[in-house]
Structure 1
Amino acid sequence: MSTVSSTELRVIGADDWEDFRAVRLEALADAPDAFGATLAEASAQPPEVWRERAAGPGPVVLAFADHGPVAMGGLFVPDASDDAFVWGMWVRPTFRGDGVAARILERLLEHADRVGRPVVLHVSQGNDSARRLYERHGFVTTGEVQPLREGSPVLIDTMRRR
């Protein structure tokens, strides 16, 4: 059985904060150079912060397998911007390569289309598999490059959906 057929996507809410926290901390531990936050910073956040992040603004999508959440992605849709921002895309290594990330991204893009927002995201330089996923979904590099976070040698590229 492929992992695609054994995963269920769900848009979560505030009450799902513990599942969100679990998969987010796993993602930060697995891929520290893919996220603006660090594992230490995220681990120190109280439950109220996790509830707020799980509730939006914009959907947070988790992929669940029999044993819990195995992938995530979010769409930040702030009132103060014309753009929507994809963030936090990650899939547990044993579930990679079967389209789980594409399904999450498609769900987020459907939401952006419904609310009429152009979509922007950041991808770490050297993360070629993520870049290929984004390019297959219509994203192009804007030429804007910045550090992943203050003091990080990792650079991220901004990509915008055509």
Structure 2
Amino acid sequence: MSTEPSTGPSTEPSAQTSTQASTELRVISSDDWEAFRAVRLRALADSPDSFRATLDAAAAHAPSVWRDRAAGPGPLVLAFSGSDPIGMGGLYTPDASGEAFLWGMWVEPASRGRGVAAGVLERLLEHADDQGCHVVLHVTEGNETARRLYERHGFTATGEVLPLRDGSCVRISTMRRACPR
């Protein structure tokens, strides 16, 4: 695959939603891999205990890996302030399982508290609902801001607690949201 820079994030009207005047949400495609890579690496650097992936491993991925991940399966929503990606979230939707996995939710610190995360989450949940999927996620224990966001959107704790990574003392709790349809 070519490593030429993309022409920028997709701007198709069907791929956009505004959470507020200065923030735009976009369901991205493989053409948007550079914006995805930029925001994902910032997320991993800012909040290493919130993600199973590590910054070093992600930074080593070839452009083809970033393109493939940006393409799915399932939508990947980036939040933009102007042309800068400031947040993200993804929904992994395996074929015919009836369950989707919410992953990679993050908003840059300067943009937190403005409804960006809620906008990204709502966009992803709309997709899950349209597919008739229940949604599962993991949240780091102690991240009460994220937990409250998920609870406001219908998620409940399952009681399952796992290590973030093999050998990690950081714990993640599983939460689940039933499809409302």
Q: TM-score category by the smaller chain?
A: over 0.9
1:82, CA displacement in angstroms? 2.4
SS of equivalent residue, structure 2 residue 20: coil
Q: Distance in 1 between matches of 2:68 and 2:167?
A: 27
1:20, CA displacement in angstroms? 0.1
Report Cα offsets for 1:64-103 as digits up to 9, x if no partner: 1124100000000012632101000000000000100000
Q: Quick one: which of 30, 53, 56 aligns to 2:46? A: 30
Q: Quick one: which of 117, 121, 135 aligns to 2:137? A: 121
- Correspondence for 1:160: 176
- Correspondence for 2:160: 144
RMSD: 1.1
Q: Distance in 2 between matches of 1:82 and 1:111?
A: 12
Q: Distance in 2 between matches of 1:80 and 1:52?
A: 20
Report Cα offsets for 1:8-29 as digits up to 9, x if no partner: 0000000100000000000000
Report Cα offsets for 1:121-144 as digits up to 9, x if no partner: 000000000000000000000000
Letter in 2 for 1:89: M
Moved more, 61-70 or 8-17: 61-70
- Correspondence for 2:128: 112
Q: Distance in 2 between matches of 1:118 and 1:134?
A: 14
SS of equivalent residue, structure 1 residue 79: coil
1:97 aligns with 2:113: yes
User: Comparing both chains, which one has the higher relative contact order based on Cα–Cα distances under 8 Å and sequence gaps of 6 or more?
Assistant: 1
Q: Distance in 2 between matches of 1:42 and 1:13?
A: 19
- Correspondence for 1:43: 59
1:4, CA displacement in angstroms? 3.4
SS of equivalent residue, structure 2 residue 94: coil
- Correspondence for 2:81: 65
SS of equivalent residue, structure 1 residue 98: coil
1:104, CA displacement in angstroms? 0.3
Q: Distance in 1 between matches of 2:176 and 2:83?
A: 34
1:152, CA displacement in angstroms? 1.2
- Correspondence for 1:9: 25
The aligned length equals 160
Q: Distance in 1 between matches of 2:70 and 2:128?
A: 17
Letter in 2 for 1:122: H
